[in-house]
A and B are shown apart, each in its own frame.
Chain A
Amino acid sequence: MKILLVDDEQKFVNMLAKRMALRGIEADVAYTGEEAIKKAEKTIYDVAVLDIKMPGISGIQLKEKLSPLHANLKFIFVTGHGAIEKLEDEDSGAEKDIYISKPLNIEFLIETIEDLIQAG
């Protein structure tokens, strides 16, 4: 299981990666959308955890770019913005994206990741 964490809040993703490592999950970090694409081109990830609001390429746009690289790549969005319900409503696609609001609970995040992979 390999996770890609993308957020412009560097300390946040770094900490998240370290904590995942402690829990036996291999996680790479990227601070920008471009960096994330580069990493995804080299490595196959199971799940990408993306911050929605990022300078340059936003989380939503990033998903569009990463999806073609790996057909099986699953996405989880993280946002500091409270309005999650609204975003979920807007997505009418068959495959619903998962949104988690900041600040987040790491155990919940890992559970969600595991669920996603199992669902498959």
Chain B
Amino acid sequence: MLKIVPEFLKAIRPEFRNHKKNFHQDAYYTFTNYRYLWVIGIFILAVTALSPLFMATLTYHQLIETSVDSDLNHRTKQLTDAAKSAVTFFMEERLNALTFTVNENGYDQLTDNARLTEILKNLKLGFGGVTDLSVLDADGNQVAYAGPFNLEGKNYKNQSWFEQSIKKMNFISEVFTGYRGVPHIIITVRSAKSDGSFFILRATLDTERLMKTLSSYKTGAYADIFLVNREGILQTPSMHYGAIFTPTNLIFPANSYETDVNTMTFNGISIISGHSLILRDMVTTPFTLMVLKEKAGMLQFWMDMRSKFNRIISASVIIIIIVITFASTFMVNKLYRADKAKAETMMQMEQTQQLASIGQLAAGVAHEINNPLAVINQTAGYMKDLFSFKDQTQNTDELIEYIDSILDAVDRCGTITRQLLGFVKQFDVKIKNVNLQKLISQVLSFHRKEAEYRQINVTVSIPDIFPELETDSSKLQQILVNLVNNAFQAVEEGNSLDIVARQVDTNTIELVIHDTGCGIPEENLKKIHEPFFSTKKDKSGTGLGLSITYSLIKKLGGRISVQSTEGVGTSFTIILPVKIKEGRIA
């Protein structure tokens, strides 16, 4: 198990992180910013893989939320409607019973206490919840009473419920405690007496029964059902929104006789509320039914499912990102390895090419040496002839002339070998002061004879005041050898090769190698610095010369551009710093 972790990290961690800076080799890398490639690879793959997932998740959540919301609203409305029916029915039933009682018995019978007690007993049996009954005359005097309290003879004229009940046929009061100290509701029915005045039958309803009815509609711990009056005072106890007779802190919804469902926030908790005024056709009640559900509580199931879903999604995202990183690392590694192998090969090719260009020069040099050798051979041969064919030993002047001629030829050979040695010596890689004029003529010296034979006009133009370059002379030399060799291959008899140098500014020089040779076709111009691009169909070229030359110039901190017109000529323009930057050397 412990072994897996480093293996895993190795698979994720791209190899380019271990890249050791090697200035000479780095110039041959096709891609320089592997970190960028890696990151972009991960990014593109991640966007491609994850965006559909995110979209789907988002849509899913939205759909669920919408459907859950509407489901919740619907259920709340249903519950409110059901509770409303029950409360309405509760009130209606009792009011109807009272109306029936009044109409059936009339004033005379009702004021008979025994009869009233009998009626109360029957009402309790039939409906329950009726605590007591009393008959009041128009002045508020209690004419008859049946019930557990001793309230006979009391006058209610100044009670607000009495004032309201004489105005209407039916009346239902708010919940109040009154004389008894127990919450109750008063229901009254007004009826005419035979003498033209009226009396009132009052029943007191026990709220216990109403509360029971309400609580039977409660579903779960997150729902609350209660009644409030028009002022927002609780008429029945609530679980979360205050005790009985205290004001609710809810923002009171607009009164409506239709069941209304909306969402609100209470103490930072999102709740769904259903509410409706309790209306009876015969009478207006002061009650508003409130059904409140904590959304979070109701949504618990969905919330749980969502968090589970989110955990699965998160895990998938992590896995996808790991896989993507792995894929990106894998691909970038392949690319990096290929690039590295290419850079290493190019590095070797650079050395091979250096040797090849020297070999090319050596062939020319051998020819150069063969000529004076031939002179020495024939002169020495002739001197020998002088001795063997005729005795001309006395003619010392002539002999000395021949010996001088031999020495002369030996000198020529010596000059050539010294040139070659001087040239080869430049191979050590180090920064030194380079006289460009000298270096150019050194390179050209190997082509002097060829230029002569082919009648190629070679000119070098360097200003008298020209800075000594502080650069890697071996590289500069190879650049010049490559470009001059190229030019000599491009030119024909009678063409010219011009090398012009000038100082651009204090730290920049420009070197133009211009030939009036065959030129480079436009379609090849972009490809000439690519490795292995060659137009030499006889396979004499490796296609690496210019590619390596470009890299070498880059290593010297310079740049090269080429202008060419087919059949007119080619100009290679090199911009080089006078002083190479520190660290640009292996």
Contact = CB atoms under 8 A, between A and B. Distances in A.
Interface of A: 9, 11-12, 15-16, 18-19, 22-23, 53-56, 58, 79-83, 101-104, 106
Contacts of A106: 378, 381
A101 B378 contact: no
Nearest to B402: A15
Interface in B364-413: 366-371, 373-379, 381-382, 385, 389-390, 405, 409
B374 A12 contact: yes
B389 A54 contact: no
A103 B363 contact: no
10 contacts: A12-B378, A19-B378, A19-B382, A53-B367, A79-B367, A80-B367, A80-B369, A102-B371, A103-B378, A106-B378
Nearest to B453: A53
Contacts of B379: 11, 15
Given A11-B405, A22-B382, A23-B389, 12 more contacts: A11-B409, A12-B371, A12-B374, A22-B385, A53-B367, A53-B449, A101-B370, A102-B373, A103-B376, A103-B377, A104-B377, A106-B378
A56 B455 contact: yes
Given A80-B368, A101-B370, A102-B370, A15 B375 contact: yes
B452 interface: yes
Contacts of B376: 103
Q: What 7 A-B pairs come out closest when comparing CB atoms?
A: A80-B370, A15-B378, A103-B377, A102-B374, A103-B374, A80-B367, A102-B370
Q: Is the interface of A mostly helix, strand, loop or mixed?
A: loop
Contacts of A12: 371, 374-375, 378
Contact of B363 (A16, A54, A58, A82): A82
A101 B366 CA distance: 12
A19 B383 CA distance: 9
Interface residues of B, number: 25
B64 to A, nearest CB: 86
B375 A9 contact: yes
Nearest to B388: A22
B389 to A, nearest CB: 5
A9 B382 contact: no
A55 B368 contact: no
A55 B457 CA distance: 12
Nearest to A107: B381
Interface string B456-472: 00000000000000000
A104 B381 CA distance: 10
A18 B366 CA distance: 26
Interface in B451-509: 452-453, 455
Contacts of B370: 80-82, 101-103
B385 A19 contact: yes
A22 B381 contact: no
Contacts of B371: 9, 12, 80, 102
A103 B367 contact: no
A57 B68 CA distance: 102
Contacts of A23: 389
Contacts of B382: 15, 18-19, 22
A99 B374 CA distance: 15
A2 to B, nearest CB: 20
Contacts of A22: 382, 385, 389-390
Contacts of A56: 455
A19 B201 CA distance: 168
User: Counting chain A CB atoms within 10 Å of each CB, which of B363, B366, B375, B453 scores highest?
Assistant: B375
Contacts of A54: 453
Contacts of A104: 374, 377
A55 B374 contact: no
A11 B455 contact: no
Contacts of B409: 11
Contacts of B368: 80
A63 to B, nearest CB: 16
Contacts of A81: 363, 366-367, 370
Nearest to B386: A22
